[in-house]
Structure 1
């Protein structure tokens, strides 16, 4: 892998994909923790596995899928920003703010270049570290730390933004006249079932709800985001109660069966997900400085945008009768004139109300830990960022349309917002960092495992992310503890038993029977992380061997 943050995530997703293609793992059990349901949102890996079964290589299937999803996210975010702000220029700026997100890391970049002896181009092609993620920075560039590593988010985010756009349109439209027309139409033709259905169950919002309902198996955090946002908007627009009910019905029809399936038989303990934790991942740093350092001028620009919106709102109230419709780019955030359904009261107030749930999510993520690992709050915070991007983009577009001096200011602000992220993206695409996850011998032993063991066989291997068993599609008693803990799985007892099995001794036989272990892998990975008693396993037949890799058959 060429991304350091993908070192553990890539084997995890490969394990899921190969469990579908080579392990007959459907309905899916957890390939990383045997005897438990696979509660991780697996749809994106199931789609990849489908391409592999159709003849594509895993590498090509993942690459094409990731590029396609990233491009769809770009287009959908551009559309969302345009719909929200009425500014086409803001729509063009928004994807850059997401894909090259970062903070003040570029200041560290210039400092290290200035103190070094390398030329500029030599230095930039041999960057010493990341400038958005690490010990000093925790926000991370979205492309490098989220979309490459968290493939479920890359599928879930475009779908979620589509739903958010529809929720905005529902929230922002004034349908008094349309509502009256519907009543008249229904009264005139009460026998028309289609008209009744459309009135009592608005089909558009119902179908949007069906789309949102697919998220539990795609990206569960995205469903949580939509729940919070729609709950806020419901109370802010109670007059749209029919549409909200239609949306809720659509969600429930699809989501409830999925959630029921996920929550029954899962090893995840939900109690591990909620706890007080102030400042997200700021650790000992000052929280305010932490956010400025990690997001740069983004939050100050966002606050400035809202202040200008409030000022514009006061100005609108004075000039509303004489100037009912103003161009969006020249006067800040305005409704598109062509869209006659946009609510005609002060435009900025609706935007501020729409932003409230996202501000709440930002505060929530900075006060409560929503996952066993506090950094995973990023899965919620990224949607605060998504909702904030259109406003910052619109402010930059507004500056650009003022005069030449403010054009320079807008360009400088944009550069400051994306430079640190662009450096991290450059570090990945230049292949400056390159890690080997599986060695040649691991690939060879996997070929033998596939030929000589049943697809649903249970293996004992070291609890690491890069065990050769990952590539075989076979189940493991347990794998990388970092993944298991982040999913709220209490693995301590099983890990202790695993170590005792590898150490041999009196209890090893009992634990092998307890877990119904069929095969044991001993490789450099096991020898490097566990105490191995190879003499204990010598009584079992070796069914696969290559280099320092050896597979013992425990059950015949």
Structure 2
């Protein structure tokens, strides 16, 4: 037992000894590594540059090509219809412009060669002007500064027309996000969409010569109210070549619409400066283009309701505009000319018909004049995006107002409101056609696709065919010549020998030598004075002065109307003019000027009435 106890203790002692840990050895850290030797900077790798690309016409954006073509077309349109021959010193005026330019040229020359301030109507002397003259004042000042008259007139005309095309394109892109819609809108604007082609084919039936008939056309197929039928003359480009200030006025309205879209979500602080600018722009319109004021009024009224975020902008713009506009309008225009006149140019027929017949006649009239647009604008409008609907809606109240009343003595002057409504409505027409193209292209049925695309193609053809015919009418139009200073013997003498503010009793109406020289005449073509709102018919007075054999009566009238000179010529029994006896005047009074052929004489009032 003792042995066992000792053995147990011995084992425990061994265990204890073996469980004791050995001493820890101290580890010494290795010495730090030496720093790496400095390295040379990396050798730069030469950049491999691509060689310059050669010009590739396919890289030009299609939009730029379109804009370039529109610029060329605008330039051609204006210079094709009005130019100047430096060899013969003649104004070259297209015959489709001959009448209207009989008022425009005297107005331009009254500022460039005459003294017409404060402005009078130079073809209705002695009365404050009632015609919007600002555009022609600009042209006159350009000519006065040395710019030749065709450039002085055509360059502002081109800027206005081209600006309108670009503004319409940008508006369509902004509203629909589609360049195809915008391009179609431009095409429809440039093309008369009426049913005038039906009248054309009634005169030139379809045949193997149809293409030649169209390309050689010289007369507009429809030209009411100055021609037969009810399709009016107001939907072709002739409107913009005659009324050179119209396009610029429309362009400003579209820019205003784009401004509404731009500032809609801007803070008031950014809106107010633009409100001041637009109020000032609005203030020039009585002198620039009076009818456009109504378009602005309709648009601003609707936008005040439809766009709450721009109400303060519109309010300030309206206040500034009203302060500037009201004094001008009251001075320029007799407000008694505004009258209830439903039906536009068919008013006289509508008032004689029963209500049901009158409604059908009214709808038929606009179907003939707007063609497919009369339906497509309505349908397309409801397919447009909501914001586009809000912005374009004013064309409908504008259409209603222009059909309900007249705003001048000449009811046909309302055409400007319809021109604007149709132009903006072209966006809706283009939108629905592009919508049909996309639906047709996505169709699984080839037959459905071809049918849809065919329908769109036929529709576009019908909406542009009259416009194609009208284009060739303008392209084929010939020009008449008005001999200008210094080749024009009479006009040259007048310019050199009479004061710039002189008034002439004129022996002819259109392009009278005194008008060419910038002087005022007693009465131009009577239609111009009547349409401008002058109440007194001067034709009987003119007849009395030329036909009276009473010197006292003649001199009293010459003094009353501040006439300094009288022109006398043989008028060849023109029924629109008084009977003028050149031999009587030569025998009775001493002329201050007698032409080389002795067929044209000028008499001075103070010499005649001694």
Aligned: 1:235 with 2:314? no
Secondary structure of the structure 2 residue equivalent to 1:520: strand
Q: For each residue in 1:181-240, what CA deviation from the matched residue of structure 2 results, as whole angstroms up to 9, or x when unmatched? A: x7xxxxxxxxxxxxxxx27x6223332333233222211111221012111221334454
Question: Which range moved further: 107-116 or 219-228?
Answer: 107-116
Residue 66 of structure 1 is matched in structure 2 by 157
Is 1:221 the counterpart of 2:221? The answer is no
- RMSD of aligned alpha carbons: 2.8
Query: Which of 370, 378, 403 lines up with 1:303 in the alignment?
Result: 378
339, 363, 367: which one pairs with 1:292? 367
Residue equivalent to 2:539: 495
Q: Distance in 2 between matches of 1:482 and 1:215?
A: 23
The structure 1 residue matched to 2:568, chosen from 495, 503, 522, is: 522
Aligned counterparts of 2:471 and 2:234: Cα–Cα separation in 1: 8
How far off its partner does 1:115 sit?
6.9
Counterpart position of 1:542: 591
Q: 2: distance between equivalents of 1:407 and 1:250?
A: 50
Q: Distance in 1 between matches of 2:230 and 2:146?
A: 41
Q: For this pair of structures, how many residues does the alignment match?
A: 487
After TM superposition, give the deviation of residue 169 of structure 1 in Å: 4.7
Q: 1:510 to 1:204 in 2, by over 3 A?
A: closer
Aligned partners of 1:121 and 1:392: how far apart in 2?
A: 27
Q: Secondary structure at the match of 1:151?
A: coil
Q: 1:273 to 1:542 in 2, by over 3 A?
A: farther
> Secondary structure, in 3 states, of the residue corresponding to 1:148?
helix
Change (3 A) 1:49 1:75: same
Q: Does 2:152 correspond to 1:82?
A: no
Report deviation, 1:415. Answer: 2.0
Q: 397, 400, 409: which one pairs with 2:437?
A: 400
Match of 1:383 among 401, 420, 445: 420
Structure-2 separation of matches of 1:210 and 1:276: 32
How far apart, in 1, do the equivalents of 2:606 and 2:197 lie? 57
Secondary structure at the aligned position of 1:114 is classed as: coil
Aligned-partner SS, 1:550 = strand
Bigger drift between 152-161 and 520-529 goes to 520-529
TM-score by length of 1: 0.80
Deviations 1:109-155 (A, max 9, x none): 23333278x83454234325212423225433545331111122122
Residue 438 of structure 1: how far off its partner (Å)? 6.4
CA–CA distance in structure 1, aligned partners of residues 517 and 231 of structure 2:
34
After TM superposition, give the deviation of residue 8 of structure 1 in Å.
1.5
Whether 2:190 is the aligned partner of 1:99: answer: yes
- Is the alpha carbon distance of 1:26 and 1:154 closer, same or farther for their aligned partners in structure 2, counting shifts above 3 Å? farther
Q: Does structure 2 retain, via aligned residues, the 8 Å contact 1:80–1:165?
A: yes
Q: Which residue of 2 aligns with 1:245?
A: 315
Pairing partner for 1:481 from 515, 518, 526: 526
Q: Which is worse superposed, 532-541 or 97-106?
A: 532-541
> Structure 2 length as normaliser, TM-score?
0.73
C-alpha spacing 1:142/1:435, structure 2 compared with 1 (3 Å) = farther
Partner residue in 1 for 2:46: none
Aligned to 2:219: 129
Distance in 2 between residues matched to 1:216 and 1:306, nearest whole Å = 31
Distance 1:409 1:159, change over 3 A: same
- The answer on whether the counterparts of 1:458 and 1:475 sit within 8 Å (CA) in structure 2 is yes
Please tell me whether Structure 1 or Structure 2 has the larger radius of gyration of its CA atoms: 2
The answer for unaligned runs of 5 or more in structure 2 is 1-91, 351-360, 442-448
CA distance in 2, matches of 1:544, 1:102: 53
Would the aligned equivalents of 1:132 and 1:421 in 2 still touch at CA under 8 Å? no
Name the counterpart of 1:372.
Answer: 409
| Structure 2 counterparts to residues 74-473 of structure 1, below 5 A | 74-114=165-205, 119-127=209-217, 129-133=219-223, 134-140=227-233, 142-169=235-262, 173=264, 175=265, 198=269, 202-238=272-308, 240-252=310-322, 255-256=324-325, 259-261=326-328, 263-264=330-331, 266=332, 268-281=333-346, 284=349, 286-307=361-382, 309=383, 333-334=384-385, 347=386, 350-402=387-439, 403=441, 404-405=449-450, 406-431=452-477, 433-435=478-480, 443-462=488-507, 464-473=509-518
Secondary structure of the structure 1 residue equivalent to 2:394: helix
- Assess if the C-alpha contact under 8 Å between 1:102 and 1:141 holds in 2: no
Aligned to 1:321: none
Change (3 A) 1:498 1:397: same
Give the unaligned 5+ runs of structure 1.
183-197, 310-332, 335-346
Contact 2:194 2:231 survives alignment (8 Å): no
